[in-house]
């Protein structure tokens, strides 16, 4: 629901320009990706690259939904400057629903369980054959997207109505939906990652795998929100909507999810390695040793140690310019993390960046950013009439 005269002309012009550029990059990137696949006659690599790029960009939409619902549950003032940034991210889910279609067309090239006899004859193999039946796989995907689109539609509808009417009951509706919505999000997103990513190696399993992607999504969304806040920092009243304590809260959330990522990743490694089961060890062995070991070491240092020690510094968390530099770094390392989790499933000999990998990320990313910018300009940059933020702009410097 679009509200009239909601953005200053200079803000709208900047967003329009970013939208056009992103869509141009996206269209060109996708065209080159398809052209390379035709030219190389390598559609298997095309679908591999497409899946990595799709999961990476889907992480942002899903993370925005999670952090938005966290804000509605807690009602913290830290959510004021980034709420509309998060809401715009959730409204990209319909675009990502459409972009999922190529994954369905590439199922036979992506998933080994599509081939007869690939799951074995043991009892676990029988369960996998039932669970990984292609039609059931598609039905589950439809259910996931239905949940995500419904949650996004309701939260954004009520937020727009709150802007227009100022009805106090709308705050309670959003808060009431956030708790069960977070449970639905957690279950559906973790199961989606099991379906779309973990089953690339169908005989391997981990009960923590979906939770790892939950944390990745939340950290990516917070980092993206900080980057967007920095880009829009020069415009009022957004600039006056935060102060050092609010930024410190957002930085602490980034620190929390950084620690959670480390805990989940190490717990998964420790449980699998100590269990010493032949079905589980190969997954860890491929990624933590041999040609992929440098990537694993880089993630340990650059995804945990570096951001951990930086985020302990109040001087970083309380200054948007400094925090945004770290946030950009976290976005880059998230791509490395997703690549490391997915690509060894079909490329065990070590990381080799293919041209299709690059253009798939650019193509899907351009479309996602273009869709995001189109949604960002549909609503004011700050929520209106929310009683949780009454007087914030007037009194924030006295906190």
Structure tokens at 246: 């609010």
pLDDT over threshold 70, residue 295: yes
CA distances from 32 to 18, 65, 117 (A): 21, 31, 36
Q: How do residues 46-57 score in pLDDT, each as one tens digit?
A: 999 999 999 999
* Residue pointed to by tokens 């479309």: 367
Structure tokens at 114: 């599509």
Residue 389 lies in a domain: no
Structure tokens at 242: 């935060």
Residue 3 lies in a domain: no
Residue 397 lies in a domain: no
Residue 225 to residue 380: CA distance in whole angstroms: 16
With beta carbons less than 8 A apart as the criterion, state whether 392 and 241 touch: yes
| pTM for the predicted model, two decimal places | 0.94
Residue 190 lies in a domain: yes
Helix, strand, or coil (residue 384): coil
Which residues span the domain enclosing 47?
9-383
Q: Which of 333, 345, 245 is nearest to 295 (CA)?
A: 333
Neighbours of 309 (CB within 10 A): 10
Phi-psi region of 120 (alpha: psi -120 to 50; beta: other; left: phi over 0): left
Query: What's the pLDDT at 399?
Result: 43
Residue 388 lies in a domain: no
Q: Which of 329, 278, 376 is nearest to 15 (CA)?
A: 376
pLDDT above 90 coverage of the chain, percent:
78
Residue 109 lies in a domain: yes
Residue 396 lies in a domain: no
Of residues 3 and 40, more confidently modeled: 40
Per the structure, the count of domains in the chain is 1
Q: How do residues 238-275 score in pLDDT, each as one tens digit?
A: 888 889 999 999 999 999 999 999 999 999 888 888 88
Q: How do residues 60-110 score in pLDDT, each as one tens digit?
A: 999 999 999 999 999 888 999 999 999 999 999 999 999 999 999 999 999
Q: Which of 392, 393, 396, 388 is nearest to 171 (CA)?
A: 388
Residue 1 lies in a domain: no
């Amino acid at each position: 629901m679009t509200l009239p005269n909601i953005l200053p002309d200079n803000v709208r012009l900047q967003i329009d320009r970013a939208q056009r550029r992103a869509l141009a990059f996206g269209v060109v990137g996708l065209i080159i990706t398809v052209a390379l696949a035709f030219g190389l006659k390598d559609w298997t690599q095309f679908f591999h690259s497409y899946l990595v790029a799709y999961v990476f960009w889907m992480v942002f939409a899903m993370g925005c939904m999670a952090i938005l619902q966290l804000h509605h549950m807690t009602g913290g003032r830290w959510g004021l400057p980034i709420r509309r940034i998060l809401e715009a991210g959730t409204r990209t889910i319909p675009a990502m629903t459409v972009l999922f279609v190529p994954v369905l067309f590439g199922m036979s090239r992506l998933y080994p369980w599509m081939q007869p006899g690939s799951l074995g004859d043991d009892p676990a193999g029988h369960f996998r054959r039932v669970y990984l039946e292609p039609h059931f796989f598609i039905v589950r995907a439809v259910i996931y997207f239905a949940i995500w689109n419904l949650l996004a539609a309701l939260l954004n509808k009520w937020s727009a109505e709150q802007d227009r009417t100022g009805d106090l009951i709308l705050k309670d509706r959003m808060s009431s939906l956030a708790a069960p919505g977070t449970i639905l999000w957690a279950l559906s997103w973790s199961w989606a990652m099991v379906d779309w990513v973990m089953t690339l190696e169908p005989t391997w399993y981990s009960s923590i795998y979906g939770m790892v992607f939950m944390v990745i999504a939340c950290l990516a969304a917070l980092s993206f929100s900080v980057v967007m806040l920095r880009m829009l920092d020069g415009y009022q009243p957004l600039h006056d909507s935060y102060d050092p304590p609010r930024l410190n809260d957002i930085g602490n959330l980034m620190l929390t999810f950084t620690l959670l990522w480390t805990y989940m990743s190490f717990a998964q490694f420790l449980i699998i390695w100590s269990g010493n089961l032949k079905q589980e060890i190969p997954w860890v062995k491929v990624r933590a040793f041999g040609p992929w070991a440098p990537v694993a070491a880089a993630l340990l240092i650059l995804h945990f140690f570096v951001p951990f020690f930086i985020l302990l510094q109040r001087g970083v968390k309380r200054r948007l310019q400094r925090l945004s530099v770290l946030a950009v770094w976290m976005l880059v390392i998230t791509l490395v993390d997703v690549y490391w989790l997915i690509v060894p499933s079909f490329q065990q000999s070590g990381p080799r960046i293919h041209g299709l990998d690059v253009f798939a990320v650019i193509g899907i990313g351009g479309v996602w950013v273009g869709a995001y910018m189109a949604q960002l300009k549909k609503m004011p940059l700050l929520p209106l009439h929310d009683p949780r933020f009454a007087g914030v702009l007037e009194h924030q410097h006295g906190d």
